[in-house]
Amino acid sequence: MAKLKISPGAGHGRVHWITPESAGWSYVGFDLYRLRAGDRAADSTGDREAILVLVEGRARIEADDRDFGDLGDRMQVFEKTPPHCVYVPNGSAWAATATTECTLAVCTAPGHGGHPAQIIGPAGIALEERGKGTNARYIHNIAMEGRDVADSLLVTEVYTPAGHWSSYPPHRHDEDAYPDMTYLEETYYHRLNPPQGFGIQRVFTEDGSLDETMAVADHDVVLVPRGHHPCAAPYGYEMYYLNVMAGPLRKWRFRTHPDHDWIVQRDAQD
């Protein structure tokens, strides 16, 4: 099994390069570029689609022989404004030239030619609250199943306030058993505010065959191949993460851990 927590490499350039082969699974890929003004990143998609997310900063984006111009107005991720995003189909190429310091996430999964290259954000993306009490968190639905903008990819941003939990109560989506559950591999790209902080993520199965609890730092990525995967933000440190999911069906169906389902039932009655 691949190591679940992956820390960034060099300070600039491509600091994460996660492929299905390196992760030991079949669907999700995730790259992260930290670019200085004037730096350029580019790639071909091959048999995979991509969603480019300008996590922060500005860049001129070209994709599938189209120039989408200078995009991005969120200069710091914790501004919480919706991100500029571009969909790139399989069988094409993309390029990004930074016009300011920028952080660019490249989310990939198998593509089937079902969608054209297009801008998919910030229009159509709004900050939504989910959960109650110290389980409250705030979501940017970039490309979940309610938005028909991709063939395989499911992508979302989550802001977890200091002292709160998210991806909680614990849930899993590791069986291809639609409509009760869908098999989805998942990556978490973490950020902390202030950046010297840490967060906690646990990845565990009900039978105990996988059980890892990790302290995550700014720019770390966590792989979730199976099992439950809750996160916690300590007092004083706000947490952001960008989720990328994909599997054989582009639907998000999960099952809450049976020991903790009472929380879901209680909250539904309030």
Rounded distance between C-alpha atoms, residue 165 and residue 174, angstroms: 21
Average pLDDT over residues 40-54: 98
Structure tokens belonging to residue 98: 């930074």
Rounded percentage of the chain residues whose pLDDT exceeds 90: 97
Rounded distance between C-alpha atoms, residue 250 and residue 175, angstroms: 13
Closest by CA to 227, choosing from 256, 268, 247, is 256
Looking at residue 150, which CATH number applies to its domain?
Answer: 2.60.120.10
Q: Is 258 left (phi over 0), alpha (psi -120 to 50) or beta?
A: alpha
Rounded distance between C-alpha atoms, residue 65 and residue 68, angstroms: 10
For residue 260, pLDDT beyond 70: yes
Rounded distance between C-alpha atoms, residue 114 and residue 254, angstroms: 25
Summarised one tens digit per residue, pLDDT across range 71-96 is: 999 999 999 999 999 999 999 999 99
Range of the domain at 82: 5-269
Rounded distance between C-alpha atoms, residue 140 and residue 41, angstroms: 25
For residue 3, pLDDT beyond 70: yes
- For the chain, report the end-to-end CA distance as a whole number of angstroms: 41
Rounded distance between C-alpha atoms, residue 87 and residue 94, angstroms: 10
Per the structure, how many domains does the chain have?
Answer: 1
pLDDT value at residue 1: 60
pLDDT value at residue 125: 97
Summarised one tens digit per residue, pLDDT across range 36-45 is: 999 999 999 9
Closest by CA to 93, choosing from 56, 49, 38, is 49
pLDDT value at residue 11: 86
Taking CA atoms, 93 is separated from 33, 42, 51, 96, 113, in Å, by 16, 8, 12, 11, 13
Cis peptide before 110 (omega within 30 of 0): no
Contact predicate 125/147, CB 8 Å:
no
pLDDT value at residue 146: 94
Rounded percentage of the chain residues whose pLDDT exceeds 70: 100
pLDDT value at residue 2: 75
Rounded distance between C-alpha atoms, residue 106 and residue 111, angstroms: 14
DSSP for 95-157, please give it.
EEEESSSEEEEEEEEE--S-S-SEEEESTT--EEEESSGGG-EEEEEEE-TTS---SS-EEEE
